[in-house]
Amino acid sequence: MNIKFSSLGVNQELTNILKQNGITEPTPVQEKSIPELMAGRDIIAQAQTGTGKTLAFLLPIMQRINVEDHFVQALIITPTRELAIQITAEVKKLILGNEIKILAAYGGQDVERQIKKLKGVIHIVIGTPGRLLDHLRRKSVDLKKIKMLVLDEADQMLDMGFSKDIEMIIRQTSSVHQTMLFSATISKGIRVLASRYLKDPAQVHIQNRNITLDEIKQLVILTTDRAKQDALVKIIEEDNPFMAIIFCRTKRRASALNQDLQERGFNTEELHGDITQAKREKVMQSFRNAKIQFLVATDVAARGLDIEGITHIFNYDIPEDAESYIHRIGRTGRAGQTGKAVTFVTSQNGELLELIEKGIQFRIEKRRINKEELPARKESVERVRRPENQEGKKPRIRSSSNGSRNSDRNSVKKPERNTGFGKPSSYKGKSNQRKSQKGRTLQGRPTPRKPR
């Protein structure tokens, strides 16, 4: 029997909005969490990324906001600016024509503009710990009357060192409010936090769905650290992803790899903690619009980001545990699409690989790339078409240099959506700012290149 949102206590107005967005049935975490939250209980909900946690807490919040009360009624704390932006976008979809007022408060934006907005009527604040503390110190926000508090991706916030910040913020809230704690993992630190600030919470634990087996084809590439870049390029050329995230262990490695790929002619950008907020937002918007094909990132992008069209995840540096592995590769294989996750493993990574395989209870297919198979580095590059993805057509697989198609190497189902973006625009890599023909686009899309 299919469960409907209305049976969980969601009102008809919100149910209709969900239908308009193609959402008709709740996910397991929504099914178990929403009734508890509608009843006013505190909650600890454990579920992995991509299971619908955001709607699980947003629907009860939206339904319980009273627009006649001109003060902040709900506070949602997130670990990253990207997640705050994403949650804000979800709230806007649920608002439509009603009078609920929201504010996204995160670093990198004009604080004075946020202060000005806070002087008016705001019902929901969505923010990161640092910027929220800034507003509390300035006394530009009053949290003494909030009715609902959400700690989203709580484990990540603790991992990022926000434990004290979170507690400082909580102490500035009303003594009587509902607290909702959502997390992919429940660590000792999470339990300590919950014991201090949650009152008789409902416990929701959603077993990890078989994401790593059912929706995502996995592959391990056995290589060396020196040959890893060339091995990555070879796999990219074989599969020709529509969109991909390439994960690196550190900001320095992400930046270096991004520069190397740009010099090879690929359409890439980097995302990590050292880039400015303005650049970060520009990169994420371009990636969401599929104007960037490859996003080279640290784990700042591993959680919370739900971007349509990602066909491949490349673990350039192997993650440190199974949970991180699942969070990374969970960026693909969504909404009924298939995906592919490729992890590059050196001889020093054997124990980590065993740990991951034990955690996901699956032995990943291995492939060794010999030195003679690696692409030769050449200064001259030819333009290569990115796989088209027009309505009603599957993306075309790029032809190899000898004219034969590599269709048997790319079994990943690509999303079918219109990818036209108007007039072509020139692409310029960081290390190649001179005018040239290297970065031209075809059919209005930035295109990767491969060596001849």
d(C-alpha 124, C-alpha 129), whole Å: 15
Name which residue leads in pLDDT, 31 or 396: 31
**Mean pLDDT across the chain:** 82
Residues paired with residue 339 on neighbouring β-strands, in sequence order: 216
38-73 burial string, b = 16+ CB within 10 Å, else e? eeebbbbbbbbbbbbbbbbbbbbbbbebeeeeeebb
Name which residue leads in pLDDT, 332 or 55: 55
- Identify the helix (H) or strand (E) that includes residue 245: strand 244-247
Judge whether residue 20 has pLDDT over 50: yes
Taken in order of first residue, the domains within the chain and their CATH numbers are 5-205 (3.40.50.300), 211-451 (3.40.50.300)
Tens-place pLDDT, residues 343-373: 999 999 999 999 999 888 889 999 998 888 8
Could you tell me the pTM of the whole model?
A: 0.63
384-to-85, 127, 156, 265, 449 alpha-carbon distances in Å: 33, 41, 38, 9, 5
Judge whether residue 69 has pLDDT over 70: yes
